[in-house]
Chain A
Amino acid sequence: MSTVDYSQELSVVEGRPSLRELDDLISKPLESKPDKKFFIAISFTGLMLLTGITALGASFIYGTGLWGNNNPVGWGFPIVNFVFWVGIGHAGTLISAILFLFRQKWRTGIARFAEGMTIFAVITAAMFPLIHTGRPWLPLYLAPYPNQHSIWPNFISPLLWDVFAVSTYFIVSLIFWYVGLIPDLAVLRDKAGTKVKKTIYSIFSLGWRFSNRHWQHYEMMYLILAGFATPLVLSVHTIVSYDFAVSIMPGWHATIFPPYFVAGAVFSGFAMVQNVLIFIRKIFNYEHIITLKVLENMNKIILLTGSLVGYAYAMEFFIAWYSGVQAEQFTFINRAFGPYAWAYWIMISCNVISPQLFWFKKIRTSIPIMFVLGVLVNVGMWFERFVITVTSLSRDYLPSSWAYYTPTITDFGILIGSFGLFFTLLLIFTKTLPVISIAEVKAVVDGAQPTHKDH
């Protein structure tokens, strides 16, 4: 084994590419016509999106009776999918804000892409509560505006907090993403070949001129935004968990929910980012920017959050026993051994057992294996939300109202459509904006920073 000199910080970008090479490499997808592979990919995701649109259209015409939602399981797929997608959206801000505050330089290569995924995931997620209300054209009623009913929203309802949390999260993520893009758009402006492109990039780069008097404020602004986004990202899934925890359903009414949901969100978000990055680095030749080391670091975070989630599962059982509440105890035994045991054990094996394989360095650094494990994590996390939502509702306090929830084909159509929407947006993103932050990567290349040797 070779010895590593830990006194020197290892470079996060391999091979010392010149700054000009980085520009050209990162902006290449924007300057070349999309190839055949891109069209195959986008027609596939487009087809998925079309499936979702068809299912949604049918739901609008014939009503939400097409879904499996019914008494007592009134939440069903729409809420499961909502929580799942909001969770996916948590990796982006975590990478761009929390890892920034911790000075993790390896985040520079993946931050932009993860932020983009956050925005698309939140868009996808926001669709579900809207359609679940059954009247998606009246979202304005959620906002506190002076209206003809002369009433105000209920500010002590977690569902309203959710509206504020998710919309704040979306706006702040969008701002974060956009200010990060400004210097890169200015690079593209100066590289642009055609007049149309130049005009568009000029408008959106706002006239950025790489001035150090600006960079100084820009870095301060980035720090402030990261400082605000860090508690924000933790608050969003906390509030999503309040939707459950503030109610009195057995299996939901638990104080462990906020940290447990946040850990789960980071867990699934990182798995999704890792999965997509594996393709991005290969297709666009970014292997030296998004290095194997970056993927390995992400796998370590997946291992950490996966273990937290596993701990939370165990703790839920313990608290159910320790509380001495019969309904609570029944709910958890019902989860593991009742009619939804199949979903529970899928969740346990995907979320608790499979990420434990990342303890081995060989597995952590093997791309095919980590890809499969990432997919499993997301399957597991989807089932976690399914288990939480459906098992508690289907067997509540009143045995006479118990019923087995069965999703319909329309439900699955909308679920497929949500993946279609997310991946279509991602594909368009890779072709319209730089998926790696040019300015940030340039700043961490070897030799990019002054040595200050004369001081």
Chain B
Amino acid sequence: MSEKVLYALTGLFETPDQIIDAAEKTSDGGYKKYDVNTPYPLHGMNQAMKLPPSKLGYAALVFGLSGTVSALALMYWMAVIDYAHVIGGKPYFPLPAFVPVMFEVTVLSAAIATVFTMLFVVFKFPNNSHPLHDTEYMKSVSRDKYGICILAEDEKFDENGTLKFLEELGATNITHQYFTEDSYATWWSVLDKKFAGILAVTAIATSLVVYIGLNKVLYMQPFSWMMEQEKLNPQKGSVLFADGFSMRNPVQGTIARGDLPYEYAVDPEGASKLVNPLPITEANLQLGKVKYDIYCSPCHGFMGEGDSRLRGQFPNPPSLHSEKVRDWTDGRIYHVIAMGQNVMPSYSSQLSRNEKWATILYVRALQRSLNAKESDLQ
């Protein structure tokens, strides 16, 4: 235990009027480092003690505004730069829709910052080892007495003189308050072994809980029930069927909806006998044009002349206006679309039967546009 050092002289008063008077006289008497302790804030005490106005408002302003700006910046970055996508037909940066979040973040950061600045920066709390703690003086002023406390480090302080000064003010219970060097040392003991230990344990425990919670617990029952359902998935094994697969072959002779097997796969000439089942109507031609423009035009060109957008990058396809193609029956063209020819692949997976026939109607129309007959003029 190191030696006791005088911290302050304290005195008590009974009424609010007395303490206001005492505070005024103390500050007029030239004391700077003194304090008044009262169970609740007194009107007029700030003037009596000549305290400058509190500057906490600036903390609120600065942190509040930085909350607004960072909320806006963060939302802008998320919604416009990092992952821009249209939601509900709105612009990427709909400012009015961002206002509620900006407002809430402003209030949140201003409120937290004001309180934290006050408690931890201005008051330097928590501080439970202050010399006045646990003294009879503190126990009186916390309840119904009004106390004044003149610190020993004040320039005008002089043990006997100040004692006399307090007596003249009419203070009762004038007490010498001491502290030990030990207690001073622990005033800012953030790096204390015990505290650091607790901090480390808390940090490790929190990280563990978060890690286990997010990576393990969430994949355990009951949270995984949605994923682990009692149903057969295509690539999963099965105990239900003899072969151990959960995937079944379709019943023999099954065909997909709208899909008739193509019987002339190896017989192009046989396919020539096929007849286009579609009548020449505007709707069919329109359908054919749409499909032709999507699937055929990249190589054959919009006009079927082989002047494609991919010209030069692939072997050039022949013109659809050649005599050979003009003389082909619809069925023969159908065969090329269905089975492919040379480097042209099959378009069966892209075009349904009707779409193929509609495309052929459109191809015929294109051919007629360059090789019109006289009868077309009428």
Contact = CB atoms under 8 A, between A and B. Distances in A.
A439 B38 CA distance: 10
Interface string A131-156: 00001011010001000001110111
A186 B127 CA distance: 12
B111 A228 contact: yes
A19 interface: yes
Given A168-B107, A206-B127, A450-B20, A218 B36 contact: no
A228 B35 contact: no
A97 to B, nearest CB: 11
A362 interface: no
A212 B75 contact: no
A212 B146 CA distance: 11
A61 interface: yes
Contacts of A229: 107, 111
Contact of B40 (A157, A202, A231, A442): A442
Interface in A396-445: 439-440, 442-443
B43 A209 contact: no
Nearest to B43: A449
Interface in A360-404: none
B128 A156 contact: no
A162 to B, nearest CB: 9
B78 interface: yes
A228 B60 CA distance: 9
A129 to B, nearest CB: 16
B347 interface: no
Contacts of A448: 16, 40
B46 interface: yes
Interface stretch (B137-145, B168-176, B296-304, B358-366): B137-145
A212 B78 contact: no
A212 B143 CA distance: 15
A60 interface: yes
Contacts of A154: 87
Contact of B75 (A155, A208, A210, A214): A155
Counting chain B CB atoms within 10 Å of each CB, the highest count among A155, A160, A187 belongs to A155
Interface residues on chain B, size class = 35 or more
A207 B39 contact: no
B42 interface: yes
Interface string A188-225: 01110000000000110011111111111111110011
B97 A216 contact: no
B247 interface: no
Contacts of B39: 19, 187, 210, 439, 442
Contacts of A453: 17
B82 A168 contact: no
Task: Please classify the interface of chain B as helix (H, G, I), strand (E, B), loop, or mixed, using the class held by over half of its residues.
Answer: helix
B110 A202 contact: no
B115 interface: yes
Interface string A223-243: 011001101100100010010
B51 A216 contact: yes
A186 B142 contact: yes
Interface string B1-18: 000000000000000110
B56 A224 contact: yes
Interface in A73-110: none
Given A168-B108, A235-B103, A448-B16, A211 B83 contact: no
Contacts of B87: 154, 156-157
A165 interface: yes
A22 B107 CA distance: 34
A168 B107 CA distance: 8
B88 interface: yes
A156 B90 contact: yes
Contacts of A157: 87
Interface stretch (A171-179, A263-271, A301-309): A171-179
B144 A155 contact: no
A235 B104 contact: yes
B100 A164 contact: yes
Interface string B54-76: 10110010001000000000110
B258 interface: no
Contacts of A135: 226
B287 to A, nearest CB: 32
Nearest to A21: B144
Contacts of A138: 218
Contact of A190 (B115, B129, B138): B138
Given A155-B97, A217-B123, A450-B20, A209 B133 contact: yes
A348 B39 CA distance: 48
A239 B100 contact: yes
Contacts of A217: 54, 56, 118, 122-123
A171 B112 contact: yes
Contacts of A23: 143-144
20 contacts: A140-B214, A152-B82, A156-B90, A164-B101, A168-B107, A190-B142, A191-B143, A202-B128, A206-B125, A208-B125, A212-B49, A215-B42, A221-B54, A229-B111, A442-B40, A443-B40, A447-B16, A450-B16, A450-B17, A452-B44
Interface of B: 16-17, 19-21, 23, 35-46, 49, 51, 53-54, 56-57, 60, 64, 74-75, 78-79, 82-83, 87-88, 90, 94, 97-98, 100-101, 103-105, 107-108, 110-112, 114-115, 118-119, 122-123, 125-130, 132-133, 138-139, 141-144, 214, 218, 222-223, 226
